[in-house]
Amino acid sequence: MAGSGTLDSQGMEDINGVRDDVDGDGADGLLNVDPFEGLKDEAAPGESDGGTGTAPVRADVVERLKSAITDNSEQTSLVPYDPLQRYLNEISRYKLLTREEEIELGRRVQEDDDPDAAFLLAASNLRLVVKIAMEFQRTWMQNLMDLIQEGNIGLMQAVQKFDPYKNVKFSYYAAFWIKAYILKFIMDNWRLVKVGTTQGQRKLFFKLKKEKQKLIDEGFFPETKLLSDRLGVSEQEIRDMGQRLDSWDLSLDEPMKDDSDTERGAFFSSDEESVESRVARKELESLIRQKVGEFKKQLNERELDIFEKRVFTDTPETLQEIGDKYVISRERVRQLEKNIVKKMKAFLEKEIPDFESYYYLQDETDA
């Protein structure tokens, strides 16, 4: 999202893709959640945003908004134990702004960094956050106050980035920021394992089920290829998202049965080497290195030189170089090398009982 007061193309597509696909169904069963809790974790003034394009939220404005809404709430709330009703009652005290007031406050925020103007611009649009959060409630189907909390973060970003000279109403501009933050929250918290990480998956997350029902209403069977053509994504993405939406997360550490200690993960095959195999291999390699050291003590000076420069090295010398050193032919060097390897193998097979099986296993792996 650019700092000029506009959303980037991807952010616009994410929001436009769902803005007409969700509707609200109330806010039952709410918990007592602070709608400004998410703002506490935003970057402090002057801190880097890490290249995300979001401006740091002013801590003083956040605290002032929170204080203004919660002051005397016990005395003024219509229903003392309903956090949503209490919140709605408190934010209704702030009147809506006219177009001229929005422009003036936006100018003061951008040019003068006026915290009072930022407070008024945000407080007067808190009801907009609630309205948009209600639109996403049917998709989220959990605590509405979570969505309001995320929407408030988006509203504060809109206040920081609103350009009063763009001839765009603040409520229209802020709606995109609010929806973007709510949408990201839903996508990140829908499941323990994220269901949408690419642009196509984000689109499918909200549209797949609706498109299936639309095809059924039109008399068509919702086949994968037809859904792929309608939604503009690959058939594999349709299948993957269908499986994600129709199933639930399972823990690989969970026992298969209540009376069993066998975990689900134990039934999954893996191409990786097991921990036991790695430990056994390391121990055998350490033993081989030890025995090779003992074997070298049995070699004469010339054999030891050939062993270290031809057999037991990553950069072996040529047969000709060693032959010139000892005034022997290349063929004689090759014969000596072969004889040394044969003697070493016999020595290791004698000293290490299971060396032969390891030797052939390594040959197959290298092949």
With respect to residue 273, please indicate whether it lies within any of the assigned structural domains. Answer: no
User: Which among 147, 171, 189 is the end of a domain?
Assistant: 189
User: How many Cα neighbours within 13 Å face the side chain of 47?
Assistant: 13
Same domain, 216 and 342: no
**What was the pLDDT predicted at 35?**
53
Q: Measured between alpha carbons, how far apart are the two ends of the chain, in Å?
A: 53
Quick one: what percent of the chain has pLDDT higher than 90? 20
Residue 345 lies in a domain: yes
Q: Whose structure tokens read 């066998």?
A: 262
Is 54 in the same domain as 85?
A: yes
For the cut 90, the answer to whether the pLDDT of residue 125 exceeds it is yes
CA distance 73 to 249: 40
Residue 337 clears pLDDT 80, i.e. is over it: yes
Domain containing residue 306: CATH number = 1.10.10.10
Q: What is the CA radius of gyration of the chain?
A: 35
Are 123 and 201 contained in the same domain?
no
- Domain boundary, last residue among 268, 289, 304: 268
Please indicate, yes or no, if residue 276 is contained in any of the structural domains: no
Q: What is the mean pLDDT of the segment spanning 7-32?
A: 39
Residue 3 lies in a domain: no
Give the pLDDT of residue 349.
83
Q: Give pLDDT, residue 199.
A: 64
Residue 263 shares a structural domain with residue 128: no
Check residue 32 and give its pLDDT.
41
**Does 353 have pLDDT greater than 50?**
yes
Tokens representing 268? 């999954």
Containing structural domain, residue 359: 281-366
CA distances from 172 to 2, 60, 178 (A): 17, 25, 10
Q: Give the CATH number of the domain where residue 93 resides.
A: 1.20.120
Q: How far apart are CA 297 and CA 215, in angstroms?
A: 81
Query: In terms of domains, do 326 and 308 share one?
Result: yes
At 82 the pLDDT is: 79
CA-based diameter of the chain, in Å? 107
pLDDT band at 364 (very low <50, low <70, confident <90, very high): very low
Same structural domain, 287 and 330: yes
Residue type, 81: Y
- Residue 167 sits at φ, ψ, to 5 deg, of 60, 40
Most confident of 21-25, 54-58, 123-127: 123-127
Q: Are both 256 and 294 inside the same structural domain?
A: no
Is 243 within a domain?
yes
Q: Is residue 4 part of a domain?
A: no
pLDDT band at 104 (very low <50, low <70, confident <90, very high): very high
Q: Are residues 44 and 157 in the same domain?
A: yes
Residue 258: what residue type? D
Residues 25 and 137 in one domain: yes
| pLDDT at residue 5 greater than cutoff 50 | no
Number of domains making up the chain: 3
Does one domain contain both 264 and 289?
no
Q: How do residues 248-258 score in pLDDT, each as one tens digit?
A: 666 777 777 77
* Domain end point (choices 151, 169, 189): 189
77 and 166 both lie in a single domain: yes
Question: One-letter amino acid identity for 223?
Answer: E
CB 294 within 8 A of CB 287: no
Residues linked to residue 255 through DSSP beta bridges, in sequence order: 263
Is 76 found in the same domain as 165? yes
Q: What CA–CA distance (Å, rounded) separates 282 from 133?
A: 57
Q: Is 1 within the bounds of a domain?
A: no
